[in-house]
Amino acid sequence: MTEEQTWLEETLEEAKLNHWCVRPSCTTCGSRHFRDTYLRRAARVAGIEVADHQDGRQILESLSLEERAGMFEALVAAARHIESKWQFTDALETILQDLDPPFIKWGVVAVLRDLLEGTPAGDVLISLEKERQSYIAMQAARAAYESPEAVKQRRLERQRETEEWVAARLEEKAERDASRQEFLNTLAAMSDAERLLLLATKEKYFPLEMIPDELVPAGDTSNSLNAKQCEQLIRIIGKRKRLWRRLRKRLEVQR
Ligand SMILES: [Zn+2]
């Protein structure tokens, strides 16, 4: 390979060997030594005279448009020959950041992705672009999520859910009340003995507390319930007081 093809690869090796900072957009040093070095070398390969003390920025600022284009071409030509072992390294990413976008940074009308197509550096560029696009999409999604309209929309949604919940609870309660009332009506239409039997066998219908005093069985229990039903009703009454307690006593005597 010619020097035009190998110098950038050699610069990468040198940076690695000497532990130069190659971090993309390094906030401490801007990976300046690394970048100054390859920019200076690119200028020389492009046939541009540069002094050793000139850093990358000074070189770029002092160049004509043609010279910049020459430097860009020298860098791209060498980047095309970078080996795949440098793929997804900070060093290569830093170089690609310096090249892209060609027009804004170098005044060169070119599509970097086309120029590097099919090379390890080109593959990295594609994945960097994808990353950038998904970052932009993510930012857009976040902005949409946090927009006043979306916030208001979510608040209305929550409000509506709460209202629906309350309405459902009220409806449940109404149904429960209705079925209790129906049971009370049934109970009221019964004789004392029938009531006793119903209570002893339909415990799950509703709590005994719902039954008004006048519907608590008050008569003789001995002919209405068998022993098992007696036990059952005693258990249901439990430790309830007053009329229920009296009923329990009568049942206990009978048992
Ligand atoms: Zn650094």
Distance, CA of 65 to CA of 107 (rounded, Å): 7
Residue 106 lies in a domain: yes
Query: Which residues span the domain enclosing 215?
Result: 190-255
If asked whether residues 18 and 111 sit together in one domain, one would say: yes
CA of 22 to the centre of ligand 1 (A): 7
Residue 38 lies in a domain: yes
Is there a contact between 93 and 21 (Cβ–Cβ < 8 Å)?
no
Written as one string, the DSSP assignment of 81-140 is T--GGGTT-HHHHHHHHHHSSHHHHH-----HHHHTTTSHHHHHHHHHHHHHHHHHHHHH
If asked whether residues 22 and 122 sit together in one domain, one would say: yes
221-235 mean pLDDT? 84
If asked whether residues 122 and 226 sit together in one domain, one would say: no
The share of the chain scoring above pLDDT 70, in percent, equals: 98
Residue 65 lies in a domain: yes
Residue 15 lies in a domain: yes
CA of 34 to the centre of ligand 1 (A): 9
Residue 179 lies in a domain: no
Reported pTM: 0.59
CA of 59 to the centre of ligand 1 (A): 20
When pLDDT is cut at 50, 70 and 90, the band that residue 209 belongs to is confident
Residue 169 lies in a domain: no
If asked whether residues 200 and 104 sit together in one domain, one would say: no
If asked whether residues 7 and 122 sit together in one domain, one would say: yes
CA of 125 to the centre of ligand 1 (A): 22
Residue 182 lies in a domain: no
Task: Give per-residue pLDDT as tens, 47-73.
Answer: 999 988 888 888 989 999 999 999 999
Average pLDDT, the chain: 91
Structure tokens at 117: 């197509």
Residues in the chain: 255
Residue 254 lies in a domain: yes
